[in-house]
Structure 1
Amino acid sequence: MSTPNGLLNRTSADVLTTKRRVLQPLRALKRYRWYYLMMVPGIAYYLIYHYWPMAGLLIAFKKYNILGGIWGSPWVGLDNFRELFNTPDFFRLIKNTLVISLYRILFNMVPDVMLALILNELRVKWFKKWVQTITYGPYFLSWVIVYGLVFAFFAPEAGLVTTWMRDSGMQSIDFLTNKDLFRPMLIITDIWKSTGFGAIIYLAALAAINQELYEAAVVDGAGRWRQMWHITLPGIREVFILLLILRIGHILDAGFDQVYIFLNSRVLETGDIIDTWVFRRGIEQLDYSVAAAVGLFKSVIGFLLVISANKLSKKVGGSGIW
């Protein structure tokens, strides 16, 4: 039978335990107060510019008008989504978006890795820096400038390449207005513009590889190709998978800036994507509700694809984003 003293001691212990549980977070907060203070600007940024605007998703379920505002516009339920799916061009837009995005994933990630491996193998430092600067430079150019350069070379009548082909007696090709060449033109210009930046990410991953692995491989008699295959490529596999999962999550984006700049009426059949259609519908026709519905549709699909790709990556390769 419990004595009053034992009961009192147990009660006191429970009080002390509860007191510790309450005071421990407060002590941690006081101890790391400066770290938490440094987190405030970042948290405020995401709250103001990323989470607060999410209230605008209500537009997707309303018939939005500027005078009534978000709260004063009438509810229409899923009518905006039905209008999107019943659009005659919907499946063509989805097809063009997916094809262009898959082309970007298939043909744009490999050049990044290849350039990073080449730069990693270069032993002349000044030449390595020169090549890296030249390849990284186009990343800072806007797509308007890139299109201006492309137009200067491939304009139908006055481009440098088309003029040279005509003067040489060859058949002139409309590079910018040919629907069959539109997608290759997008991929080639995107490779030229972004490969240098993508290589920097892989170079950072290569720098993190333990150099003792290469020394041990040399002792074992492994050549440069064996070292690359068994040490270098496995060393950047995690980064490659991470970037691949992130690209899969944006598979319905397809690069609006580039496509909109290069797009013209003759290549709409193969070049018109969801974002360009939304721009015409939401900005030019002021139909914000359908545009918001498309944005929500893309976000949900992207979220599901990221979750699925991450799970598949863990099962196959044992690693993922989380």
Structure 2
Amino acid sequence: MTRRITAADIAEAAGVSRATVGFVLNNTPGQKISDGTRDRVLSAASRLGYRPHRAAQTLARGRSRLVLLVLPDWPLDHSMRQYLEEAAHTLDEAGYSLVTYTRHPGDQSRPLWESLDPDVVVGFGAFDTETVASLRASGITKIYPNPDHQPDEAAASSVTTGTCLQVEHLHGLGHRRLAFAGTTDPRLSSLKGQRLATARECARRLGLDDPAARDVDHRDDSATKAVAEWRAQGVTAVVAYNDDIAATVAGAALRAGLSVPGDLSVIGHDDSPLAAMFVPALSSVRMDTIGVGRHVAQEALHLADGRPAPGGAPDVAANLVPRESTATPRG
């Protein structure tokens, strides 16, 4: 096994003391070290392949420079990837690393925060009482969202912000009988329920009947059956849970000989690459998940080392992206 490179090895290679090596590698404030000496130490460290010992650094600094993001048991879709990439980038620029951890129902393993010792633990939503107790028992004091504060209503409604835009867009085109196409993925049942409830609430506000709801899956004929049932009920437009579901419904309609959007308009959610590539291109709702990822990372940095907080709740901006799959109903 290859021996680990130590500060003593670097000191010998650079011709300086071990203390000087420590000052340079740890960027210790208050130490007057010439640029030439600093360059020699860093060059020797790079040449020897030195890697800092994480546990030792954590013990010395009192910080791990790690942020643990606890994710819900959801599929890693386009929106989630954008969120994670921006959060990781923002933290990296500040010298912190993002570690993600997905909790599953019935997990038997110890929570990752018990062994990782992160500076901050971030949740995708408010943590439950049991999780907060586990975090605090592990010595974790910096938690976001703050478990001692009531959840912000704007943040809590972020997952349904775009659903009203879908309904309003179809209503504005003249559609009066809508349907809601949901996902069959059991991991998303709660989120799907929230979006369906929002779709119904917005429809009622606009004077429409409740959207007829069916779950569809591209792996079976559920979408074909749903389209036939909706057409028999006079449905002219479909609000889809996301772009994948929208493509599944539109594909079933086209295979049944219907025109999209002539016979059936379909609108998706998330504005994933699929929405623009599908034929006809899918109207969708774009969420500013990049901005949310940046906001959450800034909140974590504020807790970690006192950097300015972004203030307020994340601005979950939602924008309608109209494309070919929605139009005024025939007749």
Assess same fold via TM > 0.5: no
Higher relative contact order (CA 8 A, sep 6+): 1
The structure having more radius of gyration, on CA atoms, is: 1
**Which has the larger helix fraction?**
1
